[in-house]
Structure 1
């Protein structure tokens, strides 16, 4: 019987190639889009699961409130790891990572440097802890020497070509000589270590042996014993505040106790985050790499589901639109003895064939689109062709979608009454208008929802791009690795400033885009109570910093070479002023130090206040900040005049090559670095646009099918209206109005849902737009315009038909 169903289904589908093609194409678009989204979600959900015992690994966090600042830290103090390993029986082992940023690297026989953007100091047990296998060297002993390091495979090939790297020496930043003690595979692309290429032994980093608990710079990972509940670890972990942190802090805050610390509203709260949860559930002050957001996964999963629903609804509408042509077929089958169950099986078989054909087309579409989707999403995903589970899920999904899409047309057509349809009154016997109307409302509600989401994301990104950040990022060139100039840095700076195309230049590693960060607790001279501490970022700059980046001095003055005492001067921002609880006049001339408890503490005198500027992401409030004069410059910022930037860069490069001909010239524009900060939002916006367009295409196909069904059902009515004098415009308006009512209803349903969902998404930004009135209006207008264009084709076609033919049809 099934074989017979398949034969008849195949013949029936061949008889209606246009409708069959529309059905296959509509389902295929939805399935292809959902498949790409499923691959993306699978990749995101599987971050860091490849590491050994990943389900038992946790990162220790520190939530801190002190000095008016609230910091959610993913890092802890240096001695935390040894205490956890020695004093906690439930801990199997501990390891640490200390991020170190970029390095200039050269092999022993080369004077030219390469650059590695992400390096770190790691404990000797790091690679065994995470189960990373060595290609060269021994995983157990590789980092037991202080000058040892481990390279990833591609990095080793970069500096040693095809020869073995193990045992050879390498030079870092033109100074330190390290021995390559191991080579590992490149870090997995869906892991928190994906950008790291150089791992140096923690034994060679003196700060790692510090016993101070007040400085948090180390990512600390613990591996719990099998079967141990992490909930039982929280209370013992928090006890470290009283047993270790407070006693350590008393060395520079002598009067502090845990009671006084808490009574002043401050706190330190230790917690853990599962390794497998870090990527999607952690958004702390500093992370090992840029994380995703679980909210984006929910959004994309909803879009994938919407695409499947739209494709299914589209199939239902197109099938019912064509049902009039099969009414007599159903009548004859029933007259000859076919039962309703048999007819349902027949129509479901047809739906299954269409679904299977759609699956094949969807796979081809997805395979073709995957490279572009990878570029759009910043991924390196591949189709898991060798996975039986993948193929099984695809087949099961295809069967389920076929049944879901085919059940309504199957039961709808199997209910035709043979007496009526064989007498030619099938149009009146075919109902289901409420269901079809509900399907259209569902389709366009989803489309309007996605249009609102796309417009909000785009508008927020435009707001970020256009917001006054309080500093100049346009025409600003950042030159990296200027420390390689040695004592020629000032010479280089002055020669660059003398170029006609250069407006100004400054030397500093501290930039308002991602760069160095340094937090310190400051006390006014004569004050020692921790309750009055002010936590501020401290940036080391030169005299030209504020003028180069156009920071606005709102009180006092900028640094000046006319004041030799400015070597101990400090400029703060308005947020720091607010946290001090003083006015600008009150704070100017006051002295502050971050060396409380140390003999010979250095005090800085406040000489100026600058207007707040956004030196962190717009997701965060502007914190307290200060700058002091100091030569800690790995970068130089150059403000260019409008003109030919490539020529200006060429001139600067020529000066560089004259001074350090063996060092590579590395630069970027500050606005590009600013944009990189919001890559995740930009990618989400692009993905939204692509899948919104797909949803609109699918919705239009469904509306097109329903318009065809409606025009077919009302053929005689149209003929009568024309005979009685109705114009083409009047008939078109009449046919279109019914659909506009449905689209209007979908707009009323979708706009509140879209507003609510996107308002929740915006809450992650401290500086964000209020959703303007024109976004829902534009979304509604777009939906109405698209529906009118889609329906008008069928309406005009029906309106201009010959009424004689329509009135003679039986």
Structure 2
């Protein structure tokens, strides 16, 4: 019996090659998409689980209540939290601190900036980073030791057998030797902590005794709790330790800054929760901050594609059953019962799904590199060999077989044998579910197309919106700790080159601070140290007052510039001449000018109050060099040579400001591509299903078409007749998809402070795309049927 079923199934597949290809091809694409998303999701939820005892490791986070009543959470702590909490809370078995730093490293005559992780000596005992050589417990005990990864060892020495080798890192004015005491395996892909080089974190006696270090935050602190520890109890004890140990500093802050309530508390965050946390992310000194929304979006896309593929399968199997009506009638008339027919058609579904599943695995292997590039992952083929994934794939396969095969098997096995043998069997009037599935299919495709157009439009807005300053032909060069005197000498040398238009300086990065205005009103600001050339070089308009100027010597010590947002928060009508006081110094500064708001941070962040000084006590860290268009090669060569001549012990690196700005939207760029591919796949699968249904529709209406042609119907009229029923379904799908897509797009755009407005053209464009693609797909077969010889049509059985 089984052999007979297999033989009939094989013959059916061979006899109906087009439908078999459509079914297997569409289903395999849907399955491949689902497999890729399962790989992605598995990687996302597996972050940091590879550490032994990962469930007992927590990061110490802090909660700060701001003056406006807002709560700000951060993963940054300081020197004290680990040692003081560990000493005062018995449930804390160990602590380890991690500080990310940049150091100058010398290799031969080459000097470059190297990322270095400063850690406590027990780092490799708390975290399970496997060692190739060296002792994990003792490798970081010596202050002059260094542990490097195998990748770093290969890069620097050409081998991993480097225990005892010497490396040179800059400390102060010169380079000091450090000894390689351990080689660790490269950090796993799914690790929030990634390092290339580990150095011991040394805290001086003076720092240990400085009570104000309770309020200096620049590193991550991890603690290991006892298995029986209660998290809430530990956090309560931590707070008591803080309030008692930091009492002196808290009192000083209240008196010095006039703050009634410090409003700070500490809490613990599980290590395994950090990667996908929206509360305190992995971006603060850690790597690969994830977003659970991405997994949901990708899973939704994969589910859409798989559902559409299954709908194709169901529709084509049911529609194709009309052509097999006589076969079913004969089988029933000679004693075949319904259960046997169900088994037969479920078997056909199983074999089709099995073929699609095998093809899907091959597709995953081929497209995995592209998927990695799109998703920003480094997933390997070895990820496929995993018990949980295999179990997941098995469930996916069985579910697909049942979902895609069970309903057609029930419908086909229920045919009336008399009607089937007399060729009077039809699905007309009884295929509401089939029509509903087509509507659902194109509704999902339309939803994804609209979503893709919205993301494309928002990305275009982010990358082309005017920033309020000129970032073209602007080179940035990093130079830490650049004194104002050295900056002047450097600028004098650079502008000797005729290709260099001007040079300006600012501090590196963005510093936050709080200032007092109008007596006690506080404003949180982004604090910038610049020179007099910075504002004119970037062509930032000064809308009130004036810019800094060398003709006013007091500008460097008593004057500030502010932006429009600062003025609004301060509540000033006439900002020029107003006074601003910093909390950490006693002097007051006078506002001499107001600059127009500009996007000094990406458009994904709202413009904040900004304050500029020329404080000579604050070093510069970044050069902005304006060059003539087309002079990039010569200018960069001259800048590099000048830099090396003036700062021979520092590494040289440069960037183009407009390219750096574009990098801020890498996540949006990736999701634009992912949604585009998702939309293309959904519309492609929907269309091959629609093609199959249109072919079957034309075949079942062969005589009708022949009669229409004999009676004088034109080709256009016949095409319209064959197409209108399908187009009605597509239009219904659009009517359902548009409002849902509008709601989803609005919700997504709420994440952006600066965003596009949802216009009707977005939805009209999506509707036109869907309708045009549907028309082309349907017309392909409709035109062929309309052009057929009516004599042959009327003579065919």
> Under a length normalisation based on structure 1, what TM-score does the superposition of the two structures give?
0.90
Counterpart pick for 2:570 among 556, 580, 592: 580
Q: Of 510, 513, 527, which aligns to 1:517?
A: 510
The 5 Å alignment of 1:525-564 reads: 532-564=521-553
Alpha-carbon distance in structure 1 between the residues aligned to 2:257 and 2:649: 53
Shift of residue 583 of structure 1? 3.5
> Equivalent residue for 1:76?
77
Q: Following the alignment from structure 1 to structure 2, what is the Cα–Cα distance between the partners of residues 481 and 153?
A: 29
CA deviation vs aligned residue, 1:67-118 (integer Å, no higher than 9, x gap)? 5586432213432222321222332322222232x332124xx2311332x3
Shift of 1:788: 0.7
Q: What secondary structure is seen at the aligned counterpart in 2 of 1:75?
A: coil
Is residue 276 from structure 1 mapped to residue 272 from structure 2 by the alignment? yes
Corresponding residue to 1:671 among 658, 665, 686 = 658
Local SS of the residue matching 2:535: helix
For 1:30 and 1:660, locate their aligned partners in 2 and report how far apart those are by CA, in whole Å.
57
Note the alpha carbon deviations across 1:431-456, whole angstroms, 9 max, x for none.
64211111111111111111111111
Q: Does 1:610 align with 2:603?
A: no
In 2, Cα distance between the equivalents of 1:253 and 1:399?
66
Q: Can you list the C-alpha shifts for 1:336-374, whole angstroms capped at 9, x where unaligned?
A: 111111111111111111111111211111111111221
**How far apart in 2 are the matches of 1:208 and 1:307?**
58
Q: Does 1:637 align with 2:636?
A: no
- CA distance in 2 between counterparts of 1:486 and 1:608 reads 22
Give the structure 2 partner of residue 366 of structure 1. 364
Which residue of structure 1 aligns with residue 20 of structure 2? Answer: 20
- How far apart, CA to CA, are the structure 2 residues paired with 1:755 and 1:468? 26
SS in 2 for 1:79: helix
Deviation at 1:761, TM superposition (A): 2.0
How far apart in 1 are the matches of 2:292 and 2:680? 24
For the aligned residue pairs, the C-alpha RMSD in angstroms reads: 2.8
Match of 1:354 in 2: 352
Given that 2:719 and 2:779 are in contact with CA atoms closer than 8 Å, whether structure 1 keeps it comes out as yes
How far the C-alpha of 1:34 sits from its partner, in A, is 1.7
Q: Pairwise mapping of residues 586-665 of structure 1 onto structure 2 (< 5 A)? A: 588=577, 590-596=579-585, 601-629=586-614, 630=616, 632-659=619-646, 665=652
Distance 2:170 2:120 in 1: 19
Between the aligned partners of 2:631 and 2:703, the Cα distance in structure 1 is 70
Question: What's the counterpart of residue 441 of structure 1?
Answer: 439
Matched positions, count: 785
CA drift of 1:244 comes to 5.0
| Structure 2 residue aligned with 1:40 | 40
In 2, Cα distance between equivalents of 1:712 and 1:238:
77
User: Any residues of structure 2 matched to 1:177-576 within 5 Å, and which?
Assistant: 177=176, 179-180=178-179, 181-194=181-194, 196-204=195-203, 209=208, 210-212=210-212, 213-239=214-240, 242-243=243-244, 247-254=248-255, 260-261=260-261, 267-282=263-278, 284=280, 287-288=284-285, 289-383=287-381, 384-426=383-425, 428=426, 432-481=430-479, 489-510=487-508, 516-523=509-516, 532-568=521-557, 569-576=559-566
Q: Give the distance between the partners of 2:492 and 2:304, measured in 1 at CA.
A: 59
Alignment of structure 1 residues 86-105 onto 2, 5 Å: 86-100=87-101, 102-105=102-105
Which deviations, in whole Å up to 9, do the C-alpha atoms of 1:508-558 show, x marking residues without a partner? 343xxxxx2322233469x5xxx5343323222223222222232222222
Aligned to 2:150: 153
CA distance in 2 between counterparts of 1:626 and 1:165 reads: 50
Cα distance 1:105–1:121, how it changes in 2: closer, same or farther (>3 A)?
same
Q: Which residue of 1 aligns with 2:141?
A: 144
Distance 1:540 1:485, change over 3 A: closer
Q: Are residues 56 and 550 of structure 1, via their aligned partners in 2, closer, same or farther at CA, if it must alter by over 3 Å?
A: farther
Q: Distance in 2 between matches of 1:752 and 1:245?
A: 55
- Give 1:6's aligned residue: 6
Equivalent position of 1:513 in the other structure: none
Q: Please say if 1:699 is aligned against 2:686.
A: yes
Separation in 2 of the partners of 1:316 and 1:177? 71
Looking at structure 1, the residues matched to 387 and 23 of structure 2 have their Cα atoms a distance apart, in angstroms, of 28
Take 2:117 and 2:369, find their aligned partners in 1: how far apart are those partners? 32
Q: What SS is found at the alignment partner of 1:766? A: coil
Shifted more, 282-291 versus 317-326: the winner is 282-291
Deviation at 1:657, TM superposition (A): 4.8
Distance 1:225 1:378, change over 3 A: same
Question: What 5-or-longer segments of structure 2 have no aligned partner?
Answer: none
Q: Which moved more, 1:677-686 or 1:71-80?
A: 71-80
Mapped to 2, the partners of 1:743 and 1:716 lie a distance apart of 26
Q: Is the 8 Å Cα contact of residues 59 and 219 (structure 1) preserved in structure 2?
A: yes
The 1:125–1:15 alpha-carbon spacing in structure 2 relative to 1, beyond 3 Å, is: same
How much has 1:399 moved relative to structure 2? Answer: 3.1
Shift of 1:698: 0.3
Query: Which SS does the other structure have where 1:191 is aligned?
Result: coil
Q: Deviations over 1:45-75 (max 9, x none)?
A: 2122222322222223223243558643221
SS at structure 2 position matched to 1:462:
helix
CA deviation profile, 1:736-790 (whole Å, cap 9, x unmatched): 1111111111111111222222222222222222322221111111111111111
Higher deviation after alignment, 756-765 or 147-156: 147-156
| 1: CA distance, partners of 2:462 / 2:231 | 40
Query: After the TM superposition, which of the residue ranges 437-446 and 701-710 deviates more from structure 2?
Result: 701-710
